Copies of this chain bind each other. A is one copy, B any other.
Amino acid sequence: MDLIVKIGGSIQKDEKDYELIVEKIRKYSQKNGKLIVVTSAIKNVTNDLINATINIDNSPDIASEIYERHVKLLSKLADGKEFENAFKDLSRLSDELFRVTWSIRVLDEVTPRVKDYILSFGERMATVLLSAVLRSNGIEAEGISTPPLITDDNYGEANVIEELSKKEIDNIIKNSKVNVIVLPGFIGRTKQGKYTTLGRGGSDYTATLIGKLVRAREVRLVTEVPGIMTGDPKKFSNAKTIPRLSLEEAIELSQLGAKRLHPRTFDPVFNIDMKVIVESLYEDGFTVINGECEKSDGLKGISYLDNMKLITVESTKIVGKIGSAAKITSEAKEAGVNIVSISQPASETTIQLAVDSSSVNRLLERLEGLKGTLVKNIEVNDISIVGIVGCGIRKKEISTKVISIAAKYDPLAIARGISNVSLTFIVNKEEGENLSKELHEVIVNG
């Protein structure tokens, strides 16, 4: 199996989308022969299902609505026997989902296991729909809505047991007589057959992981944007697609950049020779991700978080007190607050934590509790975090240029990232936009 194609949920919204998907898969199938398609739940369905676990009273209605949306698409895109069979499958799944939503309404309770069960319907229905549409369009395709990934029972963020999963997928491939196998992304199941979700990284991660298990040459993540871009096009009018990224660059850009890939997507790719290609359903551009830095690499892209807070915890007592960082970071942990950046400068009189604005209050409450003992003063400032990514940063002339630009914006902190392919700048909130724009110009126009 050479190729895995992952079809995102945001590009499964209407007939036109499916026509494009059909043509894309037809093209890849003609070129590659056998391939695996990993599908997300269709547009908005995962959100609606999450909603069903919260607004329990409405959950049967939400279930009906989701069913109808799938059937409507199916009726337009499939016919004859294909329609009939898929309709039966969707109805069976809808029945099951309806029973579950009805049950949680009766019991007024959703356990983590049941939440994953409910979420599983999104990808399972999408698998039925997509495979039927492909067959209706003359592509020999088979949809297997039972997820092949076997996981532990850590519901909400289940861990894949690779050995068992590989056996499942190998079996599927062995038994399949068609070219295109459609599998659900994002979900797995325990050895006992309970549905789980893989959590962070979603279907992209499923695709690269299956790619690794079947030793694919390429994993294509098909999405609405033409690859990974130099910056968010909404913010930078001249943003362009980046043709190639090393793995390190991709990880650095993945979380903060314009296209939200989860860095975990690249976990299965380390140390194996597999290309990940991010491409658009609608446009031509694409980004190839693989391998390490190359000599010619310069600056690639900008990331920009503009709603952050910088908490400065000041205390002369921090000086020389081994363990004050441990104390403060574990307070953050207990408050469930993700620290985006910590820095304790060499003079040791202060610790600075950058956190998202939404979680700042939870952390402050706890830090206030340390006043009088460890903490002398706490200051909170609005900041932006601007990152620039590219293997070129390893070159002195490039990094000097970048830092000199940043210097003009009065940065609070500057740091290099993993493998020395990124520089991150913490600046006052109001400086963020201009700094990011100036850096973006450097990328685009040199």
Instruction: Give A378-408 interface residues, CB cut-off 8 Å to B.
Output: 385, 387, 396, 399-404, 406-408
**Is A347 touching B100 in the complex (CB atoms < 8 A)?**
no
Instruction: Kindly provide the distance from the CB of A355 to the nearest chain B CB, expressed in whole angstroms.
Output: 11
In Å, the complex CA distance between A319 and B387 comes to 16
Is the CB–CB distance between A333 and B338 below 8 Å?
no
Identify 11 new A-B residue pairs, CB closer than 8 A, beyond the known A346-B385, A399-B407, A404-B407.
Answer: A102-B106, A200-B320, A252-B347, A263-B319, A303-B346, A320-B338, A323-B332, A340-B344, A345-B424, A350-B418, A407-B407
| Given known contacts A256-B346, A347-B417, A407-B407, A338 and B322 CB-to-CB distance under 8 angstroms | yes
Q: Which of A96-124 contact B (CB under 8 A)?
A: 99-100, 102-104, 106-109, 111, 113-114, 117
Q: Are B340 and A348 in contact (CB under 8 A)?
A: yes
Closest to A339 in B: B325
Whether A333 pairs with B337 at a CB distance below 8 angstroms is no
Q: What are 21 sample pairs from A and B whose C-beta atoms fall under 8 A apart?
A: A99-B106, A103-B104, A103-B107, A107-B117, A108-B194, A251-B316, A255-B319, A262-B319, A263-B348, A263-B349, A264-B319, A314-B419, A322-B337, A325-B325, A326-B333, A340-B348, A341-B345, A343-B343, A347-B418, A352-B415, A401-B407
Q: Which of A419-445 contact B (CB under 8 A)?
A: 419, 422, 424, 426
Is A233 interfacial (CB 8 A cutoff)? no
Asked whether any CB of chain B lies closer than 8 Å to the CB of A267, the reply is yes
Determine which residue in A303, A316, A408 has the highest number of CB atoms from chain B within 10 A of its CB, and name it: A316
CA–CA, A326 and B328, complex, Å = 8
CB closest residue in chain B, given A253: B347
* A406: B residues at CB distance < 8 A: 403
Shortest Cβ gap from A193 to chain B (Å)? 9
User: Which residues of chain A from 295 to 323 have a CB within 8 Å of any chain B CB?
Assistant: 303, 305, 312, 314, 316, 319-320, 322-323
In whole angstroms, what is the CA distance A360 to B356 when docked? 32
Which residues of B sit under 8 angstroms from A319, Cβ to Cβ? Answer: 200, 255, 262-264
Please tell me if A47 contacts chain B, counting CB pairs below 8 Å: no
Complex formed: what's the CA distance from A270 to B376 in Å?
11
A-side residues, CB < 8 A to B, are 99-100, 102-104, 106-109, 111, 113-114, 117, 194, 200, 251-252, 255-256, 262-264, 266-267, 270, 303, 305, 312, 314, 316, 319-320, 322-323, 325-326, 329-330, 332-333, 336-352, 354, 385, 387, 396, 399-404, 406-408, 410-419, 422, 424, 426
A167 and B266 CA atoms in complex are apart in Å by: 61
Q: Which of B312, B344, B422 contacts A347 (CB 8 A)?
A: B422
Residues of B within 8 A of A404 (CB): 403-404, 407
Q: Could you say how many copies of this chain the assembly holds?
A: 4
On chain B, the residues within 8 Å of A267 by CB distance are 316
Cβ–Cβ < 8 Å partners of A352 in chain B: 415
Q: Taking A107-B100, A349-B263 as contacts, is the C-beta distance between A418 and B326 under 8 angstroms?
A: no
What 10 pairs between A and B have smallest CB-CB spacing? Answer: A103-B103, A403-B407, A414-B414, A323-B333, A326-B329, A326-B330, A350-B418, A103-B106, A413-B415, A326-B333
Q: Which residues of B contact A312 (CB under 8 A)?
A: 418
Given known contacts A346-B354, A387-B346, A424-B346, is B316 in contact with A323 (CB within 8 Å)? no
Question: What CA separation (Å) do A103 and B109 show in the bound complex?
Answer: 11
Tell me the minimal C-beta distance from A324 to chain B in angstroms: 9
